Structure 1
Amino acid sequence: MIPAAVSVVIPAYREDEGIQRVLDRLLDAITIDVEVLVVVDDEADPTVAAVAEHVGHDARVRTLVNTYGRGPANAIRYGIDAARKPVVVVTMADGSDDPRLIDPLVRLVERGVVVAAASRYSPGGQQVGGPMLKGLISRAAGRSLGTFARVGTDDATNSFKAYDTDFVREVGVHSRSGFEIGLELTAKARRLRLPVAELPTIWLDRTIGESSFDMKAWIPKYLRWYRFAYGPQLTVEQVRDQAARIARLNNGAAPAAEQDT
Structure 2
Amino acid sequence: MRPRVTVVIPVYNEGEAIMQHMERILRDVLLPAEILLVHDTPDDTTVPYAEKLAMADPRVRPVLNTYGRGPANAIRFGIDTAIAPVVVVTMADGCDDPRQIDSLAMLVERGVVVAAASRYMPSGQQVGGPFLKRLMSRWAGRSLYMFTRVGTRDATNSFKAYSAEFVRTVGIESRAGFEIGLELTAKASRARLPVAELPTIWLDRQLGESHFDLGRFLPSYLKWYRFAYGRRLTLDQLAARRERVEAAELAATPPAVPLNSNI
Q: Fold match, TM over 0.5?
A: yes
Q: Distance in 1 between matches of 2:155 and 2:95?
A: 17
Structure 2 residue 251 is matched with structure 1 residue 256: yes
| Match in the other structure for 2:125 | 126
- Aligned-pair distance for 1:42? 0.2
Structure 2 residue 206 is matched with structure 1 residue 211: no
- Aligned-pair distance for 1:54? 3.6
- Aligned-pair distance for 1:256? 3.4
| Match in the other structure for 1:32 | 31
Residue identity opposite 1:192 in structure 2: A
Structure 2 residue 161 is matched with structure 1 residue 162: yes
Question: CA offsets, 1:166-223, max 9 Å, x none?
Answer: 0111111111110000000000000000000000000001111111111111111101
Q: Distance in 2 between matches of 1:213 and 1:80?
A: 21
Structure 2 residue 45 is matched with structure 1 residue 46: yes
| Match in the other structure for 1:135 | 134
- Aligned-pair distance for 1:254? 2.4
Q: In 1, are the aligned partners of 2:54 and 2:62 still within 8 Å (CA)?
A: no
- Aligned-pair distance for 1:240? 4.2
Q: Distance in 2 between matches of 1:208 and 1:160?
A: 19
Q: Distance in 1 between matches of 2:15 and 2:196?
A: 33
Question: CA offsets, 1:28-87, max 9 Å, x none?
Answer: 111110000000000110101012224424221000110000000000000000000010
- Aligned-pair distance for 1:112? 0.5
Residue identity opposite 2:113 in structure 1: V
Bigger-Rg structure (1/2) = 2
RMSD, aligned CA: 2.0
| Match in the other structure for 1:112 | 111
Q: Distance in 1 between matches of 2:76 and 2:129?
A: 25
Residue identity opposite 2:63 in structure 1: L
- Aligned-pair distance for 1:232? 2.0
**CA separation of 1:4 and 1:49: change in aligned 2, threshold 3 A:** closer
Q: In 2, are the aligned partners of 1:17 and 1:208 still within 8 Å (CA)?
A: no
Q: Distance in 1 between matches of 2:251 and 2:67?
A: 13
Question: CA offsets, 1:66-120, max 9 Å, x none?
Answer: 0000000000000000000010000000000000001111111111000000000
